[in-house]
Amino acid sequence: MVERGPEIVFAGTDGGAITELADYEAAGGFTALRRARAMTPDELVAELNASGLRGRGGAFFPTGRKWSFVPKPDRIAKPHYLVVNADESEPGTFKDREIMLRVPFRFLEGCLIAALGIESTHVFVYIRGEYEREWEVLVHALEQMKAKDLLGGTTIVLHRGAGAYICGEETALLESLEGKRGQPRTKPPFPAIAGLYAAPTAVNNVESIATVTPILEMGGAEYAKLGVENSTGTRVFSLSGNVAKPGNYELPHGFPLRELIYGIGGGIPAGRTLKAVIPGGSSTAILTPAEVDQAHLDYDSLTGLGTAIGSAAIIVIDDRCCIVQLGVRISQFYEHESCGKCTPCRVGTRWTTQILKKLEAGRGEHADLDLLIDVGEKVNGTCLCPLGDTAMIAIASYVAKFRAEFLAHVEEGGCPFHGASSLEGILAPTDVHAAHGPAELTRPLEVLA
Amino acid sequence: MSSVLYDEIQRLKAQYPDERSAVMPALQLAQAEHGGWLPEEAFREVADALGTTPAYCHSIASFYDMFRLEPVGAFQVEVCTNISCALRGAQAVVDAFVEELGVSVGETTEDGAFTLRAVECLGGCGWATVVAVNNRHRLNVSAGDVSAIARELRHG
């Protein structure tokens, strides 16, 4: 059994939640904030840099460096903003909601500390609309803090989204928060210079902010002893799919993936065998069982395997799953969530779905495999945000690693699972739209031919 | 329009440096007031309270999945069919609701009690299958639970 290490984000909860202020204070709450208020912004950034904390939303950008990019108030005479990205929507990911439900004060304390770090007195938390109960827990926590005058002149606004995956992308989130359609902006300028209301803005993920609090409690250098080089500290891993004990598990970075699935996760149920693992949310490249055996849950290990730690969402897939059906369903998600601003993504995600559906239906040809890759290459790097890129990278990895199964669909003229796949018949929102609208609005395959 | 809605929207506006930021929370309030969807009247009310146009409000509402532009049932039942739920039997849950409620996905029952939808990831992947009823999440739902859920909702 591999050492699990201490919980940091969920420390002191004993598996439960701390939603009353008195309980949080009794457990030592707000010592980090008091410490931070005695420090200069530069000292706070230095503490974060010493911790090695990197963004937990998916991009893994060093948090202290991000704060240091926000200009000093005397350089840009506008209000500075801290925006917290609580729009958790990456399929497979459900960690931020558990953080907000179980340690709301640790999170809100982190907001106040981060605001000090970028010399801001205005915090906006953009929380996905589907997380209604999480929003209520934060409202209750914030009211208690206001009643005891703990905000120190800083305002925190809890802003609810309304259902759009794209708003997890930081510039789309800022557009949405400004009361517009959530469509990504051109960068530069970067949010640090011209973010919310064109003012200097830091955008941080919920888990990153909730980790700032314990970093100030224990000290950055001490935090950096957890985890591994380049991936310090702990991470809340979301484990889902065909595994006996799905759930959120806070573990040190570097933990072996196999041990998470077979040890902590209890293995693959119902006597099935492992077919594949998506390691960092649905937009990361898939891993084969042989790769899973080598993988450690940190940035360098997963990057070395050609994938990414992403949002630390591990989706376990057993041998009943048809990989082409998996591709269809993933592609449908990105097609549904593409904001429509950039043509390659808007059209490419749609084409990818249609090509994969054609293969699944047994009408595919060998050339369709190349066409899938070709469409992906036309999307990659040609859009304002990575939504389309990541969809294409994920699909391309299925084709590359399960090519024989794709070929079987072509050569057998149909799905080799013969209706027995675990994803057989799964209905996506785009299927419902198609059923209620004009059937064939675009015919990419005919157009291409 | 109700003066309560107007006043609430004024309070929302005060939270933001730019009043336009209040459009989404204002539409959320209006939708709740209008029984879960946004008729033309709601867009006029929100536009009036915000000092913008109904067309602008409509352009926002049509972008986001949780704003409904057509009448909905008293209970909006939404089944997540994204990968983690799909791998654990989400389609069987959808099928059970279709049978139990007698409607196709995307439709509302004739008595106006239920609207059934299939939705993208609700962020409850470790507790598959996730079913949201009026945005309250029910976790670990299996097809065998569907009759009891429908009965509970019908009879309170």
Report how far residue A55's alpha carbon sits from residue B32's, in angstroms, rounded to the nearest whole number: 35
CATH of B3-61, one of 1.10.287, 1.10.150, 1.10.3470, 1.10.10: 1.10.10
- Provide the CA A98 distance to its chain's centre, in angstroms: 14
> Which site among B11, B13, B63, B91 would you substitute to test the A interface, given the most A Cβ atoms closer than 10 Å to its Cβ?
B63
Q: Chain-centre distance of CA B154, in angstroms?
A: 18
Residues of A in contact with B122 (CB under 8 A): 130
Q: Are A85 and A176 in contact (CB under 8 A)?
A: no
At residue A44, what are phi and psi to the nearest 5 degrees?
-65, -45
CATH class, B75-155 region: alpha beta
Q: Where are the domains of chain A?
A: 21-225, 228-318, 323-448
**Among A90, A179, A426, beta carbon nearest to B90:** A426
Q: Which two tokens stand for residue B120?
A: 């993208």
Residues B63-95 pLDDT 10s: 999 999 999 999 999 999 999 999 999 999 999
CB contact under 8 A, A246 and B121: no
CB-CB: which of A164, A427, A436 is closest to B94? Answer: A427
- Please name the residue of chain A whose CA is at the shortest distance from the CA of residue B16: A157
pTM of structure: 0.96
Return all residues near A300 (Cβ < 8 A) that are at least 6 apart: A228, A229, A230, A231
Regions of chain A with pLDDT less than 50: 439-449
Interface of B with A in 78-97 (CB under 8 A): 81-84, 86-88, 90-91, 94
* ipTM value for the complex: 0.97
The helix or strand, by DSSP H or E, that contains position B104, with its residue range, turns out to be none
What φ, ψ does residue B80 adopt, rounded to 5°? -70, 125
pLDDT in tens, A302-330: 999 999 999 999 999 999 999 999 999 99
DSSP secondary structure code for residue B145 in this structure: G
Residue of A nearest to B133 (CA): A130
Smallest CA–CA distance, residue A165 to chain B, in Å, is 9
> Which own/partner pairs from A40-46 qualify as long-range (CB within 8 Å, at least 24 positions apart)?
A41/A67, A41/A116, A41/A117, A41/A118, A41/A119, A44/A113, A44/A116, A44/A117, A44/A216, A45/A117, A46/A220
Cα angle A104-A220-A195, degrees, rounded to a multiple of 5: 60
Instruction: Tell whether B67 lies on the interface with A, counting CB pairs under 8 A.
Output: yes
The values of phi and psi at residue A298, to 5°, are -150, 170
φ, ψ dihedrals at A235, nearest 5°: -145, 140
User: A284: phi > 0 → left, psi -120 to 50 → alpha, else beta; which?
Assistant: beta
CB spacing of A129 vs B119 below 8 angstroms:
no
To the nearest whole Å, the CA of B83 is away from the closest chain A CA by: 7
Q: For residue A434, what pLDDT is reported?
A: 79
Preferred mutation among A94, A245, A277, A339 to probe B, highest tally of B CBs within 10 A? A94
Shortest distance between the Cα of A164 and any Cα of chain B, in A, equals 6
DSSP A124-146: EEEE-TT-HHHHHHHHHHHHHHH
Contact yes or no for B110/B70 (Cβ under 8 A): no
Residues 29-58 of B with CB under 8 A from A: none
Contacts of A333 in chain B (CB under 8 A): 82-83, 120-121
B125 and A246 within 8 Å at the Cβ level: the answer is yes
Residue B17: list chain A partners with CB under 8 A: 79, 122, 197
Q: How much is the pLDDT for A1?
A: 58
Cross-chain residue pair A159–B21, CB shorter than 8 Å: yes
Per-residue model confidence (pLDDT) at position A3: 81
Q: pLDDT of A350-366, one tens digit each?
A: 999 999 999 999 999 99
- Please answer whether residues A118 and A41 qualify as being in contact, where contact means their C-beta atoms are separated by less than 8 angstroms: yes
- Flag whether residue B140 sits within 8 Å of chain A, measured between CB atoms: no
With an 8 Å Cβ cutoff, are B82 and A329 in contact?
yes
Q: Given this model, what pLDDT does residue A436 score? A: 67
State which residue of chain B sits closest to A181, comparing Cα positions: B60
CATH 3.40.30.10 range(s) for chain B read 75-155
Q: What is the CATH number of domain A21-225?
A: 3.40.50.11540
Q: Flag whether residue B16 sits within 8 Å of chain A, measured between CB atoms.
A: yes
Q: Which of A94, A179, A181 lies at the smallest CB-CB distance from B126? A: A94
CA dihedral A260, A262, A266, A271 (to 10 degrees): 150
pLDDT at A437: 59
A283, A356, A352: which is closest to A315 by C-alpha?
A283
Residue type at A430? T
Q: Do B121 and A176 touch (CB under 8 A)?
A: no
Lay out the sheet containing B131-133: strands in order across: B114-119, B75-80, B131-133, B136-138
- Please tell me the CATH code under which domain A323-448 is placed: 1.20.1440.230
Put simply, the answer to whether B118 touches A428 (Cβ < 8 Å) is yes
Q: Which segments of chain B belong to CATH 1.10.10?
A: 3-61
Which pLDDT band, with edges at 50, 70 and 90, does B3 fall under? confident
- Phi-psi map region of A286: left, alpha, beta (phi>0 left; psi -120 to 50 alpha): beta
> What pLDDT score does A354 carry?
97
Task: Judge contact between B33 and B25, C-beta under 8 A.
Answer: no
Provide the shortest C-alpha distance from residue A103 to chain B (in Å): 18
Coil vs helix vs strand at B47 = helix
Count the neighbouring beta carbons within 10 Å of the beta carbon of residue A396: 20
- The 8-class DSSP code of residue A262 comes to I
* pLDDT for the residue numbered A67: 98
Residues 6+ apart with CB under 8 A from A262: none
Looking at chain B, which residue has its C-alpha nearest residue A96?
B123
Q: Among A444, A277, A429, which residue's Cα sits nearest to residue A338? A: A429
Q: What is the DSSP string of A194-247?
A: H-GGGS-EEEEEHHHHHHHHHHHHH-HHHHTTSEETTEESEEEEEEEES-SS-E
With CA atoms as reference, the chain A residue closest to B124 would be A94
Q: Which CATH fold topology does A228-318 show?
A: Ubiquitin-like (UB roll) (3.10.20)
Nearest to B13 by CA among B3, B1, B23, B28: B23
Strand partners for A277: A287, A316
